[in-house]
Amino acid sequence: MSAALPEAATAVRPGRLRRLAALLDPRAGPARWPILIALVTILAWVVVGATIDLWAPYDPVALAGRRLQPPNASHWLGTDALGRDVLVRTLYGVRFSLPIAAGVLVTAVAIGCVLGALAGFFGGLLDGVLMRLADVTLSFPAMLLAMAIAASLGPGLFNAGLAMVIVWWPIYARLMRAQVLSVRSLEHVDAAVAMGASSPRILVRHVLPLCWTPILVNATVDISQIILLVAGLSFIGLGARPPTPEWGQMIAEGATNFYNWWIAAGPGLAILALSLAFSFIGDGLRDLLDPRSR
């Protein structure tokens, strides 16, 4: 039986762990540093987001000092037009960007994978309808479609997240369908069919476990895009509402105070740091999991 199973399903586990350890081994040279720095960065953001209430020196939505102060000893990233501390607001921002990005991703992946798996496994009319729906959604630029949806739902972080789920699910549906299609024709699936296993059992036990790798890689890379898109929607007023210290919203406030560069610099750097970190992780995971890229 095991001879019929593809290499991916059997031989990888110990190999993967070894490769993961190798991937994170700083002794392996400068090529490993980005992913290590990325991991530390994300971990740091998570810790900041979880604990900031305990140690933040200022309230993110209240007056912290004279308005429009450039960076100085008591306000490391200066103050904004309402005298709020830019650094504190930037750090609070991760409480919005990260959970929303994760939430959008998990929802989009869940919806996309279920629909994609059904379409790929059962084919026929279901496949046709679902994939045309995905095609239509994918034929619009993501930002534009998200803007249109968010605008019609009304401004707000939840609506912005909902808009992004609508924009994002087809990507995973297509990916999952392609994976299911290729796995479905493998011999171990034929064997399961021959043994009389039911369709749901075959899908869940024999097909899906072989399909998650590209999804995971894609999701890690996408999370940085979603962070950018959330910020983008907030920047144009379709995401977070004031006075929420959301990064896109803060950059929009900084844009009207162009010459007081520090207002937009804090959230800008935060977006850069977090999305870059996820991109590095995504690249690393691909190296680890995708046999073709090795």
Partner 1 sequence: MRAGQMKAALVLGIAVSLAGLAVPTRAADTRPLVVARNMDLTSLDPARSFCDTCQIYLSAVYQTLVTLAADNRTLAPNLATSWEVSPDQTRFVFKLAPNAVFSDGAPVTSADVAWSLTRLKNMKSDASFLMEALTAVETPDDKTVVLRTAQPNSEFLNMLASSYAGIINRKVAEANGAVGGENASTADQADNWFFANSAGSGPYKLALYRNGDQLRLVSNDKFWGTAPKVAEIIIKQVPDAVAQLQMLQTGGADVAMQIDPDTAASIKDQNLVLDTVPSYNFIYLALGVGSKANTVPLTKPIREAIAAAIDYQGLIDFTVGGKGRPQPVAIPNGFPGTTDLPLPKQDLALAKAKLAEAGQPNGFTMKSAYPAVNSYGVDLSLMMQKLQQDLGRVGIKLELEPITFAVWRERVAKDGIPITASYYAPDYFGTVQYVQFFSMMSTSSWVKRSHADKVQGVVNEKEGELLKQALAATPTEAERIYREIALEMIGDKVIIPVVSPDLILASRKGVTGVRYSACCNLALSQVGRQ
Of 62 and 204, which has the nearer Cβ to partner 1?
62
Cβ distance to partner 1 smaller for residue 112 or 266? 266
The residue range among 14-22, 76-84, 190-198, 284-292 that interacts with partner 1, by the rule CB under 8 A, is 76-84
Q: Does 34 bind partner 1 (CB under 8 A)?
A: no
Q: Does 65 bind partner 1 (CB under 8 A)?
A: no
* Contact pick of 258, 291, 292, 294 for partner 1 (by CB under 8 A): 258
Token pair belonging to 78: 């200066």
* Of 55 and 259, CB closest to partner 1: 259
Per-position x/- string for 130-169, each x denoting binding to partner 1 as judged by CB under 8 A, each - no binding: ------------------------xx--------------
Give yes or no for a cis peptide into 243 (omega within 30° of 0).
Answer: yes
Tell me the helix, strand and coil percentages in the chain, rounded to 5: 75, 0, 25
Q: Is 253 in the site for partner 1 (CB under 8 A)?
A: yes
Closest listed residue to residue 164, CA positions, set 94, 101, 220: 101
CB of 241 to partner 1, least distance (A): 5
Q: Name the H helices within 56-141.
A: 86-122, 124-138
Q: Is 205 in the site for partner 1 (CB under 8 A)?
A: no
Q: What is residue 89's three-state secondary structure?
A: helix
DSSP 8-state code for residue 69: P
CB of 176 within 8 A of CB of 121?
no
Instruction: Choose, by CB under 8 A, the member of 68, 145, 153, 276 that binds partner 1.
Output: 68
- Residue 117 or 147: the one with the smaller Cβ distance to partner 1 is 147
230 vs 215: CA distance, rounded Å: 21
Q: What is the C-alpha to C-alpha distance for residues 126 and 195, in angstroms, rounded to an integer?
A: 26
Query: Does residue 71 touch partner 1 according to CB under 8 A?
Result: no
Which residues from 231-250 bind partner 1, rule CB under 8 A?
237, 241-243
Q: List Cα–Cα distances, 248 to 67, 141, 289, in angstroms.
A: 20, 19, 33
Residues in the chain, overall count: 294
Which residue reads 């604990």 in tokens? 51
Q: Single out the residue of 226, 214, 216 nearest to residue 274, CA to CA.
A: 226
- Choice between 63 and 272, CB closer to partner 1: 63
Residue 24 vs 151, nearer CB to partner 1: 151
Nearest to 165 by CA among 118, 123, 125, 109: 109
Does position 61 interact with partner 1 (CB under 8 A)? The reply is: yes
Q: Contact between 82 and partner 1 (CB under 8 A)? A: yes
- Binds partner 1 by CB under 8 A, chosen from 27, 259, 291, 294: 259
Interacting residue ranges for partner 1, rule: CB under 8 A: 61-63, 67-68, 81-83, 154-155, 237, 241-243, 253, 256-260
